[in-house]
Amino acid sequence: MVESIRCINIHPGLNPFNRGWYPQVFSIINKFPIGITIHEIDEYLDHGPVIVQKELEIFPWETSFDVYSRIIQEEIQLIDKHLLDIITNNYKLTYLDSEGNVNLKKDFNALCKIDLSKIVTMGEAIDFLRAVTFPKYRNAYFIKDGEKIFVDLNLTRE
């Protein structure tokens, strides 16, 4: 289909970083940039020449939910600003120099199981919990006495 029809994707990630599922999660954990990428679709996942991008900052008090909520708001503004140019094919494509990385749903699912014997810094632990905290979803968990225990993080700025 992508060879016969121009298809456009609005990706809630800053390509080429963290293509695929839940880019904000992996951006928090891997310290990669986050943002929005509007691009032409090719045969690969969240890949193809870029029409426009906008990078966002991830603040230390934000969870995955907070970052994603800001991304959605910025996507609306970005598409509003560029929609006419996209419809009329009045834009210049940018071809990225790097393939970046791709995260699949199975990567996220594997990430959610907490290994209680893993040694990490407090900063790494907080960033992990920030990354997997998304209200209404039970993501991070550990197993204790055969029971699954779910963990969320609540951060409050002074």
Alpha-carbon distance of 134 to 40, in angstroms, equals 29
Alpha-carbon distance of 140 to 111, in angstroms, equals 8
Residue 148 main-chain phi, psi, to 5 deg: -85, 125
Q: Is 82 a catalytic residue?
A: no
- Write down the catalytic residue from 11, 39, 47, 82: 11
Alpha-carbon distance of 136 to 122, in angstroms, equals 25
Q: Which residues of 51-83 are buried (b: 16+ CB within 10 A; e: fewer)?
A: bbbeebebeeebbbbbbbebbeebbeebeeeee
Mind telling me the catalytic residues? 11
